[in-house]
Structure 1
Amino acid sequence: MEGGISFWQALSLSAIVGWVGASASFDLTRRFRALTQPWVTRRVVADTPSILRLQRCHHRYLDNMFSVLSCVVSVPFYTGFLPLLFWSGHSKLARQMTLLMAFCDYTGNSVKDVISAPRPSCPPVRRVTATKDEKENATEYGLPSSHALNTVCLSGYLLHYILTNSPQNDTVAVVAGFSLVFLLVILIGIGRIYLGMHSLIDVAAGIVFGLVILAFWLAVHDYVDNFIISGQNVTSFWASLSFLLCFAYPTPEFRTPSFEYHTAFNGVAFGIVSGIQQTYLHFHHEGVPHIFTPELTFPVFIARVLVGIPTILIVKFCSKAIAKWLLPVMCNTLGIPIVSSCYIPALKVSDNGKNKSEFKQAGYLQKVVSFLPQKAYDVDTGIRFLQYAGLAWSVVDLVPSLFSHLNL
């Protein structure tokens, strides 16, 4: 049931607006970077001999092992794994891990771009990038290690969820669970250094940030879940939050893919929240069948995957196509100057001056958005957000509806 905006919602959004204003007025990002970047850079340089000593024992089996481990805890892996978790009946775990992943991604990438500290220099360090995703990761800033941060948070939360929902938790099971998580975190940390992707300070910072974020999430996750399921103004509040977080994101010293990753997962979080809020009682309540039960056998789950994966890919393609057409029209109508990094050739940054002159003829509706700074905005951000929001919405709303009609 929708009602007036609550005090905590108004306070949250006002705090972000206040931070954006204060950051812009006092140039807080640049000031903080001036304090932290030199020290972190010196630590990265000082860690180089340690990295080289570790890399002396390199072997192709170690290259393959650590590359595979990095892929298993990477953002693309979770992006592919989380839909399967939703469709297997574990909706609460899936939505919590999705939101935690978005939170980790935003926080970690924000810190990266605020500090703008380099990765270990290559050469002399040998850098192993076995996948396209790893090559893109290598173009980001270094501290903190996103792989270490995400591993601590997501494996830690998964362990918490399993121990909390298991009927019997003996000491051996608890110790074994913590030991596995600890071993995974250590292997990921060593692997990021061995692959030449991070220095020791990057990994240590990733683990520390991960522990802080995990502790915070364990304190608030039930409140967040209750809000998504039965709160007021859920969709409108999350849309406002997503919009403001784009402006609150810090500007790095040089452009990196970090903001693009954040935008994608920001869209995923919005799509999941809006879809769950609308369909919780139909497809995502606690009584839905779980995999490996008579109500949801493994063959039926495979059928769900065969139906679901093509469907969400089609929705992702259509969402992107619609956004590429709709957003420029809306911005043109409102008089918002835009450019495009890659999606719309006619709005490439090289045509910046031409685009601005065209948008100055937009008409009286430009007054509606006159509070915005007079600069050209990258429309690709909105396109990417809507593309992944549509994909996530289809995972929790459209695809379960298809399952229901097909008796899957």
Structure 2
Amino acid sequence: MWTLVMYVGQVLKDLLKLPRPLSPPVVKLERRVDAEYGLPSTHAMAATAIAFTVLYSAPARIQFEFEVGLVMAVTFSSLVCLSRIYTGMHSVLDVICGVFISSTILLFTYPYWDTIDHYQLTSALSPAFGIGVPLLLSYTYPALDHYSTTRGDTTTILGAWAGCCVGYWFNVQTGETFEPKDPLPVPLPAVTASGLALGTTRFVLGVLALVGTRQLMKSASLRVLYWFYEVQKSDVNARRRKEIEVPYKFVTYTSVGLVNSILVNRAFMCMGLL
């Protein structure tokens, strides 16, 4: 759902081409995305999609008070939305439209979540679909008359989804899905010092594995692409070229998704951290 709403939001930005709030009167606290358009707010879309997808998916897996989860989802998504206004990156209209679009996507896709999940994990065509569709979407992303980070960011998201999609399919085919041994839904575990230490260790090792994968694959893919297109390493703008930006980001983050979904959990098993 994160990938879907982000792709829709990024494409809408570059099709509608509505500017971000003017500065002044707004004081912008972020400058990296000045070249991007404003409507809709993809942060608002992502926060809404993530919070409420988890809220509506979790009861089948974890026992918790739905009302408490609803308060947490509303709080999280609201804080993200308000932060985009506070930092001067979006107007109130941008945020409202983002929440509305994301909510609409959730509403219309919710009845099919289980079907999509089953197809992704069991179909023999899932790997081809999982790699081919996001790669096609990355290359056919709407072109602008100036460079913007939206194409690269969208390719990053699509690549991460592609890697995870194939990785989770591979886990099911090999019979290792890392599911709880107890029947679902399982009760929430008690918060203990040992549990926190175990979770922190997994988090730190996981981050190191993913960051290391990112750096390795980014360096290797750029080296190959620079050689293939006969680009000098000193050319600082070469990474902005579509024929370089799309494949290097897609390969890099597909690899990150694969490591996240396949190798990291298996490493945790070998280390006794699961």
Q: TM-score range by the shorter chain?
A: 0.7 to 0.9
**Alignment correspondent of 1:378:** 243
**Alignment correspondent of 1:287:** 180
**Alignment correspondent of 1:232:** 124
SS in 1 for 2:32: helix
**Alignment correspondent of 1:303:** 201
Which of residues 21, 33, 48 in structure 2 aligns to 1:137? 33
1:234–1:274 Cα contact (<8 Å) kept? yes
**Alignment correspondent of 1:151:** 47
Give the RMSD, CA atoms, in angstroms: 3.1
Q: In structure 2, what is the Cα distance between the partners aligned to 1:125 and 1:117?
A: 16
Which of residues 12, 16, 20 in structure 2 aligns to 1:111? 12
Alpha carbons of 1:346 and 1:262: their partners in 2 closer, same or farther (altered >3 Å)? same
1:235-314 mapped onto 2 (5 Å cutoff): 235-280=127-172, 281-287=174-180, 292=189, 297-314=195-212
1:40-51 mapped onto 2 (5 Å cutoff): none
Residue deviations 1:64-116 (CA, integer Å, cap 9, x gap): xxxxxxxxxxxxxxxxxxxxxxxxxxxxxxxxxxxx22112211111001111
**Percent of residue pairs bearing the same amino acid type:** 22
Unaligned runs of 5+ in 2: none
**Alignment correspondent of 2:109:** 217
Number of aligned residues: 265
The normalised TM-score by structure 2 is: 0.82
The structure number with the bigger radius of gyration is 1
Q: In structure 1, what is the Cα distance between the partners aligned to 2:80 and 2:151?
A: 23
2:226–2:233 Cα contact (<8 Å) kept? no
Alpha carbons of 1:378 and 1:400: their partners in 2 closer, same or farther (altered >3 Å)? same
Q: Aligned-pair distance for 1:406?
A: 2.2
Pair 1:317 & 2:215 matched:
yes
Alpha carbons of 1:141 and 1:232: their partners in 2 closer, same or farther (altered >3 Å)? same
Q: Aligned-pair distance for 1:162?
A: 3.2
SS in 2 for 1:137: coil
2:134–2:158 Cα contact (<8 Å) kept? yes
**Alignment correspondent of 1:102:** 3
